[in-house]
């Protein structure tokens, strides 16, 4: 019998028992044996009360570690249910970028409640980071950086590093920064260069002057490009007056890119907000899905009303009703492939919204070939099945033309939406399928009207 | 007039001109001004011959930089078109993990041709890295690491770092490793600790003994958990005998995770292989899309044949033909939302394939509510439009029940596929929509059969 199937030994049962018994040591040792994904999974099996009690009974630093280990929405959910006084010490124990991330995921009220409980310096720092959008340098930067004055020597810096080794334990000391009296960035000082230099040497001799830096407002795309181009682990962030305000780490950019592409995937299936875990509240999950689905019902009805306008043709050739959903579904599939490729290329920066003609041309070629192949397949089957070549021509021809239309639209719509500063992931699908449904139904029914005598003959 | 709209000054036109004129300096200065994504975009506008000539005319190290800047498939396409003798120096100039990545993306023949041209040591290293799957520690590790013998002192290490500073310029020296005479891993030596230690101290005093390490076969999930749990930048990789064979960096894991989630997104829209850029060859793009679409045609026909079996009901109530594609599409949408959430939770490790009942329960609640809301919406519209409450009951009831079925299936199918060691991204959609189409059509048509008198009354 495996460990997991014995109900007593499942990690969330152990946790539940230790929480019930108020046994901090027991809880800590139960958590210690779990990997972060096992922690996330186990916490999601605990009741909301157990989760709150667990976070409150642990020392703040350990609770903060736990919060960092689980996915963002799950962490936000747990923190939101705590009283602000209980949540504040945990938030305080997080690194600055983690604080901003978490507070940004909370409801406005919950975030304000916690900010009020923080020390004024922490609150000010968190508010500053919160003021930048997630997908900007300011949104992903860390405030834990070391900036040294330009009159310091190598020895001064090494003494400082030694003296405050404990405080700096969580800092990235691979790069430190050299600033003037007004905090303006002068250079980057690499730890590896410090190691090899005599202790009396001024750090300005050793620093890389005029370093690459980014502005707090720079987008994720700019940051991604910057890290592709330069093989640095961190890049300093400056304000408009070139004052050092933080550093962006390659990891933070990659993590944010990851988050964005997960979001785009979920949004492309109509999950509004781009995030859902089953640990989220039932009504929130349901409404995020419904808001998109209910728009889609109306678009679907609008498209299908084309069929209602041609009922007499359908009555005459009832077998066409079999092919209408097929053409609708297949065109949607072909178009969504093109949508996904366009969104991917936009993310990589390989295409820009203005590259419409290139995409049109590239998709057009695929659309012609795939349209012909799929049209012959469906048309051939229709012909053989009903022993009526005209039926094959009608449905095969409609599918071929509609496939071409679908890939052209699917390729171009995300570019147009991005050009209009809208999110292509959420809206491309519904726009695409509505247009291709209308055109697909119209084509089948008008082609059928043309060959009505031949179709009703069999 | 902006720079971009003047055809003469578009970066790919400049590049084309400099390539034509064999002007290496001109090419280099044109490239220098471009960000990596602009490089990728500009290269994709050049002809295949221009691209090949460009890579061949640049010094190998610069060509390697260019190859690293553009997306993987694009780089593979350019390298594949070069003669192996021309490609080999460029591949040789890449870091070890970049080499393995690139060679892994090439056709088997092209990769072998280049491996034959490499020095025997480089070829052996590349073959070793290639032997590991992409999503394993071996597949993402770097071979450029520093391992020092356990009898060395701090001074010895600093002298080595100073002496070979040029060679180590691209190494991550933040962590170095301590090994015994047989290359077995003993400890990790942090650069920051070296800085603060007296030169005579043995490095074994300073190292972190019994360090966290991973095995070459460990999966991406294990690595992700490991980096979540420990705040390291790199983790050593050892073989079965605990011999140090490389190091995995956090960045490499994040980049591979990114690649995997992009792949899952593209596969979920039916792009077989999980990668497509419009720089790829036309036939490859077309066939990767078609292979999935053509399977889908048959599944669609199978599902729609349910309609053919109930033609007499449809003939009697022709208005139902309007609602069949709506129910098919809406159920597909609801189900795909659940698929996306399951794939996301599987990726995060928050659910395992055996958590079927939990998913069933969580989706069931959403399915009941969303089914009722969508059913009332569609049923209400049908009733008002045709002034026949029975039509509303038939289509609304069918949509409600089918929405519940779709989210249950959509939630569970990815878990089942993962449990069977299959890729949920590619297959979940078609399985889902085929079943929901069959059931949706059956429900509408059998409900309609039950109320046939009332439906034909209006």
* DSSP one-letter code for A445: H
H/E segment holding residue A153: none
Question: Which CATH fold would you assign to the domain B147-259?
Answer: CBS-domain (3.10.580)
- For residue A351, count CB atoms less than 10 angstroms from its CB and return exposed for 0-12, middle for 13-18, buried for 19 or more: buried
Give the chain B residue nearest A314 (alpha carbons).
Answer: B318
Q: Decide if pLDDT at B433 tops 90.
A: yes
- For residue B217, count CB atoms less than 10 angstroms from its CB and return exposed for 0-12, middle for 13-18, buried for 19 or more: middle
Chain B residues close to A248, C-beta within 8 Å: none
ipTM entry: 0.88
The answer to whether A146 touches A153, Cβ cutoff 8 Å, is no
Rounded to 5 degrees, what angle do the CA atoms A276, A277, A281 make?
85
Interface mutation target, options B98, B269, B324, chain A, most CBs of A under 10 Å:
B269
Percent of chain A with pLDDT over 70: 98
- Specify the pairing of strand B147-149 against strand A214-215: unpaired
Whole-number pLDDT of residue A8: 54
Rounded to 5 degrees, what angle do the CA atoms A396, A402, A407 make?
130
Instruction: Please state the rounded mean pLDDT for residues B249-270.
Output: 89
Residue B402: pLDDT band (50, 70, 90) is very high
Mean pLDDT over each residue of chain A, to the nearest integer: 89
Q: What is the pLDDT of residues A318-329, one digit of tens each?
A: 999 999 999 999
Chain B residues close to A68, C-beta within 8 Å: 228
Hey, are the CB atoms on A374 and B297 less than 8 Å from each other?
Answer: yes
DSSP state string for A162-215: HHTTTGGGGS--SEEEEE-TT-BEEEEEEHHHHHTS-TTSBHHHHSEES---EE
Chain B residues close to A322, C-beta within 8 Å: 304-305, 307-308
Of residues B402 and B32, more confidently modeled: B402
A·B CB contacts under 8 A: 334
Place of tokens 């949004």: A267
Chain B residues close to A271, C-beta within 8 Å: 337, 340-341
Give the chain A residue nearest B371 (alpha carbons).
Answer: A290
Hey, are the CB atoms on B333 and A374 less than 8 Å from each other?
Answer: no
Instruction: Please state the rounded mean pLDDT for residues B90-97.
Output: 87
Nearest chain A Cα distance for residue B167, angstroms: 14
Longest dimension (CA), chain B: 101
Nearest chain B Cα distance for residue A277, angstroms: 7
Buried b (16+ CB within 10 A) or exposed e, A85-117: ebbbbbbbbbbbbbbbbbbbbbeeebbebbbeb
- For residue A162, count CB atoms less than 10 angstroms from its CB and return exposed for 0-12, middle for 13-18, buried for 19 or more: exposed
Cα–Cα distance for residue pair A428/A79, rounded to 1 Å: 34
Q: Which of A81-95, A200-214, A230-244, B362-376 has the highest mean pLDDT?
A: B362-376
Of A152-156, A168-172, A340-344, the poorest mean pLDDT is in: A168-172
Hey, are the CB atoms on B365 and A282 less than 8 Å from each other?
Answer: yes
Listed in sequence order, the residues at least 6 apart from A130 whose beta carbon sits closer than 8 Å to its beta carbon are A100, A103, A104, A111
Hey, are the CB atoms on A325 and B318 less than 8 Å from each other?
Answer: no
Of A119-133, A351-365, B79-93, B357-371, the poorest mean pLDDT is in: A119-133
Instruction: Please state the rounded mean pLDDT for residues B391-397.
Output: 96
The answer to whether A349 touches B37, Cβ cutoff 8 Å, is yes
The answer to whether B180 touches B242, Cβ cutoff 8 Å, is no
Q: What is the pLDDT of residues B163-189, one digit of tens each?
A: 887 777 777 777 889 999 999 999 999
Chain A residues close to B285, C-beta within 8 Å: 366
DSSP state string for B160-188: HHHHTTTGGGGS--SEEEEE-TT-BEEEE
Of B393, B326, B430, the residue nearest A296 (C-alpha):
B326
Cα–Cα distance for residue pair A129/A104, rounded to 1 Å: 9
Hey, are the CB atoms on A192 and B192 less than 8 Å from each other?
Answer: no
Q: Decide if pLDDT at B2 tops 50.
A: no
Hey, are the CB atoms on B278 and A340 less than 8 Å from each other?
Answer: no
Cα–Cα distance for residue pair B230/B227, rounded to 1 Å: 5
The answer to whether A150 touches A178, Cβ cutoff 8 Å, is yes
Positive or negative: CA dihedral B146, B149, B154, B157:
negative
Cα–Cα distance for residue pair A72/B264, rounded to 1 Å: 21
The answer to whether A241 touches B52, Cβ cutoff 8 Å, is no
Instruction: Please state the rounded mean pLDDT for residues B193-212.
Output: 87
Residue A1: pLDDT band (50, 70, 90) is very low
Question: Which CATH fold would you assign to the domain A282-457?
Answer: Tetracycline Repressor; domain 2 (1.10.357)
Compare CB distances from A293 to B71, B347, B370 and report the shortest one's residue: B370
Give the chain B residue nearest A266 (alpha carbons).
Answer: B340
**Local structure of B214: helix, strand or coil:** strand
Q: Decide if pLDDT at B456 tops 60.
A: yes
Query: Considering the domain A3-131 in this protein, what is its CATH number?
Result: 1.25.60.10
The answer to whether A405 touches A411, Cβ cutoff 8 Å, is no
- For residue B420, count CB atoms less than 10 angstroms from its CB and return exposed for 0-12, middle for 13-18, buried for 19 or more: exposed
Chain A residues close to B304, C-beta within 8 Å: 322-323, 325-326
Q: Decide if pLDDT at A357 tops 70.
A: yes
Nearest chain A Cα distance for residue B350, angstroms: 5
H/E segment holding residue A16: helix A11-20
Instruction: Please state the rounded mean pLDDT for residues A194-203.
Output: 85
Hey, are the CB atoms on A304 and B315 less than 8 Å from each other?
Answer: no
Query: And the tokens for B244?
Result: 């140090």
DSSP state string for A378-437: HHHHHHHHHT-HHHHHHHHHHHHHHHHHHHHHHHHHHHHHHHTT--HHHHHHHHHHHHHH
Chain A residues close to B354, C-beta within 8 Å: 4
Place of tokens 């960092």: A68
Whole-number pLDDT of residue B443: 96
Q: Decide if pLDDT at A2 tops 60.
A: no
Cα–Cα distance for residue pair A138/B194, rounded to 1 Å: 33
Q: Decide if pLDDT at B381 tops 50.
A: yes
Cα–Cα distance for residue pair B322/A310, rounded to 1 Å: 10
Hey, are the CB atoms on B69 and A228 less than 8 Å from each other?
Answer: yes
Whole-number pLDDT of residue B35: 86
Cα–Cα distance for residue pair B432/B415, rounded to 1 Å: 13
In angstroms, what is the C-alpha Rg of chain B? Answer: 30
Cα–Cα distance for residue pair A430/A270, rounded to 1 Å: 9
Instruction: Please state the rounded mean pLDDT for residues A96-105.
Output: 86
Whole-number pLDDT of residue B324: 94
Give the chain B residue nearest A275 (alpha carbons).
Answer: B341
Cα–Cα distance for residue pair B149/B183, rounded to 1 Å: 8
Q: What is the pLDDT of residues A367-426, one digit of tens each?
A: 999 999 999 999 999 999 999 999 999 999 999 999 999 999 999 999 999 999 888 988
Compare CB distances from B158 to A35, A37, A196 and report the shortest one's residue: A196
Compare CB distances from A330 to B279, B297, B322 and report the shortest one's residue: B297
Listed in sequence order, the residues at least 6 apart from B224 whose beta carbon sits closer than 8 Å to its beta carbon are A37, B253, B257, B349
Mean pLDDT over each residue of chain B, to the nearest integer: 89
Percent of chain A with pLDDT over 90: 51
Instruction: Please state the rounded mean pLDDT for residues B391-405.
Output: 97
Domain B3-131 identical in fold to domain B282-457? no
Give the chain B residue nearest A331 (alpha carbons).
Answer: B293
Of A97, A229, A247, the residue nearest A177 (C-alpha):
A247
Q: What is the pLDDT of residues B6-27, one digit of tens each?
A: 445 788 888 899 898 988 888 8
Hey, are the CB atoms on B174 and A170 less than 8 Å from each other?
Answer: no
Hey, are the CB atoms on B41 and A352 less than 8 Å from each other?
Answer: yes
Cα–Cα distance for residue pair B158/B161, rounded to 1 Å: 5
Of A56, A67, A57, the residue nearest A91 (C-alpha):
A67
Whole-number pLDDT of residue B8: 54
The answer to whether A384 touches A428, Cβ cutoff 8 Å, is no
Q: Decide if pLDDT at B5 tops 60.
A: no
Q: Decide if pLDDT at B325 tops 90.
A: yes
Chain B residues close to A348, C-beta within 8 Å: 37, 40, 71, 277
Compare CB distances from A161 to B196, B266, B286 and report the shortest one's residue: B196
Domain range summary for chain A, segments of one domain joined by + = 3-131, 147-259, 282-457
- Specify the pairing of strand A244-249 against strand B175-179: unpaired
Q: What is the pLDDT of residues B243-259, one digit of tens each?
A: 999 999 988 899 888 88
Cα–Cα distance for residue pair A234/B321, rounded to 1 Å: 60
Query: And the tokens for A255?
Result: 């993590």
Hey, are the CB atoms on B74 and A350 less than 8 Å from each other?
Answer: yes
Backbone angles phi, psi at B150, to 5 degrees: -70, -10
Chain A residues close to B194, C-beta within 8 Å: 195
């Amino acid at each position: 019998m495996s460990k997991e199937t014995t109900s007593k030994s499942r990690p969330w049962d152990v946790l539940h028992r230790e929480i019930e018994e108020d046994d901090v040591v027991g809880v800590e040792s139960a958590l210690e044996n779990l990997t972060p994904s096992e922690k996330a999974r186990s916490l999601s099996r605990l009741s909301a009360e157990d989760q709150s009690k667990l976070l409150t009974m642990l020392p703040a630093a350990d609770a903060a570690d736990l919060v960092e280990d689980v996915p963002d929405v799950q962490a936000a959910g747990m923190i939101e249910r705590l009283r602000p006084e209980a949540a504040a010490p945990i938030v305080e124990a997080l690194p600055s970028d983690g604080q901003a991330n978490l507070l940004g995921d909370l409801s406005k009220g919950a975030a304000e409640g916690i900010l009020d409980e923080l020390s004024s310096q922490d609150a000010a720092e968190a508010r500053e980071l919160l003021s930048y959008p997630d997908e900007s340098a300011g949104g992903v930067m860390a405030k834990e950086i070391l900036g040294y004055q330009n009159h310091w020597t190598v020895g001064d810096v090494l003494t400082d590093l030694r003296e405050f080794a404990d405080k700096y334990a969580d800092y990235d000391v691979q790069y430190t920064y050299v600033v003037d009296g007004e905090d303006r960035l002068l250079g980057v000082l690499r730890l590896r260069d410090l190691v090899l230099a005599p202790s009396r040497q001024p750090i300005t001799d050793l620093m890389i002057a005029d370093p690459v830096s980014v502005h707090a407002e720079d987008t994720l795309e700019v940051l991604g490009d910057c890290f592709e181009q330069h093989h640095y682990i961190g890049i300093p962030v400056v304000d408009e007056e070139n004052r050092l305000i933080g550093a962006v780490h390659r990891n933070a950019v990659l993590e944010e890119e990851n988050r964005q592409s997960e979001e785009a995937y979920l949004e492309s299936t109509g999950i509004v907000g781009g995030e859902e875990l089953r640990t989220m509240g039932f009504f929130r999950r349901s409404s995020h899905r419904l808001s998109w689905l209910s728009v889609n019902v109306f678009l679907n009805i609008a498209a299908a009303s084309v069929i209602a306008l041609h009922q007499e043709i359908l009555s005459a050739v009832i077998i066409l009703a079999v092919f209408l959903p097929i053409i609708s579904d297949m065109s949607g599939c072909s178009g969504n492939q093109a949508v996904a490729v366009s969104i991917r290329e936009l993310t990589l920066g390989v295409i820009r919204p203005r590259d419409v003609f290139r995409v049109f041309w590239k998709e057009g070629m695929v659309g012609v070939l795939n349209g012909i192949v799929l049209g012959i397949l469906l048309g051939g089957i229709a012909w053989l099945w009903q022993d009526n070549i005209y039926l094959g021509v009608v449905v095969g021809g409609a599918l071929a033309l509609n496939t071409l239309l679908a890939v052209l639209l699917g390729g171009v719509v995300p570019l147009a939406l991005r050009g209009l500063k809208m999110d292509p992931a959420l809206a491309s699908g519904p726009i695409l399928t509505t247009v291709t449904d209308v055109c697909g139904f119209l084509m089948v029914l008008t082609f059928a009207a043309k060959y009505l005598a031949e179709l009703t003959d069999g």
